[in-house]
Structures are given as C-alpha cells and as structure tokens.
Amino acid sequence: MRLLYIHSFQSLIWNKMVSKRIQLFGMKPVEGDFILIKTEKEENEDSSSEIPDDDESISQLMWETKLYENHSVAVQDFFNLLQKFDKSITEQIPKSHKYKKRNEWVTKEIMDAINLKDKLYKQYNKDRDNKVLEREYKDLRNKITNMVRDTKKEYQLKKEKKEKAEEPFKCKQEIIALTADELSNYTIYDIVLPLPGYDINYPEHLKEYYKEALEEYGLTLEMTKQKVKTYTLCGNYRKILEKVKDVSWKIMHYNNPTENLIRSDFEELRGNSEPEDVESKVYFYFLFFFSKLHVISHG
C-alpha cells in the first residue's frame, strides 16, 4: 500500500506523456521513438493480428461502432463489422477462455467452515429469535473472513517469493531508439515510453515535456536513489498500446439493473454458478474474452 501512491504518480506522468506523444506525432512511429529489445522467446512468439494500425482505419472502426449501439440493430451485423477489422475474431467462445476458478489458495478448513456457516444460517433463518444461533453464526462468519484474508495473503506472499527466486526482477528493460531507416519495420504497438526513475532514458523528442511535467511537482529528470530502498524508483518502460489477442464474446441478457453480471471472487469460492442468459428485451451486455481476461460492455 505504501508504494501505491508512488506508482500512481509514475503512471500519471506516463499517461500525460502518451497523450502528448500521440498529439504531436499521431499513431505512426517516428525517429527517436523507443522500442524494447525482444528476447529470443518473444521473437519466436506468433504476434500476428489484423487489428488496423493506421489512424484512418482505427477512427473508422470507432465511428462505425457507434452506429451499433442501438439494441434493435442485428447483432450479427455487429459481429461482421468487427470481423472486417480482425479476421481472427469468432462468435464462439473457445473452451480455453471460459471463466475458470483461480482459488489454489483455498484450504479444506475454509471450505468446511463455509459449509458449516451455510447450515447455521439456514437454522438461524428459521428461528430468528434464537440469540445463541445468531451469535454462533456471526462469530463463524467473522472467523471465515479472517481465515480467507490471512490464507490468501500467505499464499500470495509464498507465490511472489517463489516467482522472485525463479526469475529475479529486472529493474530496467533494454530499449533502442528508432532511426529513420527502421520506421517501416515497426508500428505504434511497438513503441514504449518510460515511467520516471533514476535508471531509465528519455526519448529526445519528448524529454523536454517529461522535464516540464516533473517540474510541476518539484522534481527533476535526475531522480536519485533514496536512502529508504522502498521508495527508490528505478523506472521502467511500458508500451503505449497493446493488441488484444484471441478475442471472442457472447451476448447476455438480464432484467434487473442491480443483478450481478459476473461472479465475485467470494461467489466463485463458494462454487456459485455463473449468471445465465435470460429471455429479456430490457437489458443486454457483451461479455468479451481475450488473453484469459474478460470485459463487460453494456448495451
């Protein structure tokens, strides 16, 4: 939590510089832009995608998509529109992208306690005047909350420690600045910008803007190491745009605007079923799946 505000500040400066970069130079690589030096593994990965790279196609996609915000328009037309720009998009959801449980940290003790709590609640629900049952139920509920919090925290710490031991954190990624002869080999999706720190370089065509942005907060480009290691920021590089891969979706309907559209972590832990599609003309939403993430888009 202590680093949350510091990292948020880094992201604030980075976001301002992304806006300035696109404002000044558009959606094409320019001389002096930074790109990451890929590892051998990254070079061998299949990064093909049909998402448009040029300003005109992206703007056209955004403009035409607005025409399909009305639910009365045929859904298949919307699919056809997206497929026009990305041939890899399919209407069907691959099995590998279905929402999976991620509760490796859950112990048998927690599950047993949850089952017992459910039984107590049923008993208490039938006898609301029973103060003994009420106290027993609430105590167990609080105990489960603490168990889940502590167990999940312990699991996360062990996981992070293991990952750190297996693959030590690299403070700074290697970058190169593009020359005029190299521009045709890259797209806007390859460009990275630095998050402020003591161990990064700034692109020459944006260096002055970084300087001005940092000076607003009494800082300089020459950010020194701090005596307290926790607050020492080496900086890093982040891509300004990412392509979405393995895109798929499904359309869901619901009647009540207060309904849950996806399961919460706790509902997933308890094994609650996923929300089902209902016959409704009141509300609908698109449930998008991509790269093991899911995003909801309301209609």
Angstrom distance (rounded) from CA 91 to CA 80: 10
Q: What pLDDT does residue 43 have?
A: 56
Angstrom distance (rounded) from CA 199 to CA 194: 10
Q: What pLDDT does residue 108 have?
A: 85
> Quick check: 214 and 196 in contact, CB under 8 A?
yes
Q: What pLDDT does residue 204 have?
A: 95
Q: What pLDDT does residue 213 have?
A: 93
Quick one: CA torsion of 102, 107, 111, 112, rounded to 10 degrees? 170
Angstrom distance (rounded) from CA 102 to CA 134: 32
Q: Retrieve residue 225's tokens.
A: 């190491």
Q: What pLDDT does residue 207 have?
A: 94
> Residue 273: phi, psi to the nearest 5?
-70, 155
- Tallying the residues shown for the chain, one arrives at 299
Q: How far is CA 65 from the centre of its chain?
A: 23
Q: What pLDDT does residue 298 have?
A: 42
Angstrom distance (rounded) from CA 266 to CA 113: 14
DSSP string spanning 239-281? ES-----S-EEEEEEES-TTS-SS--HHHHHTTPPPPPP---S
Angstrom distance (rounded) from CA 234 to CA 7: 11
Edge-to-edge strand order for the sheet containing 283-290? 248-254, 283-290, 293-298
Tell me the β-bridge partners of 192: 34, 239
pTM: 0.48
Per-residue pLDDT of the chain (299 residues; tens, 9 = 90+): 567 788 888 899 999 999 999 999 999 999 999 999 875 555 555 444 444 444 444 444 444 434 334 433 444 555 555 555 555 544 443 333 332 344 677 788 888 888 898 888 888 888 888 888 888 888 988 898 888 888 888 888 888 877 766 554 455 678 999 999 999 999 999 999 999 988 889 999 999 999 999 999 888 888 766 666 666 778 889 999 888 778 888 888 888 888 878 888 888 888 888 888 887 667 888 888 776 444 444 44
Nearest of 146, 229, 234, 185 to residue 33 by alpha carbon: 185
> Quick check: 73 and 64 in contact, CB under 8 A?
no
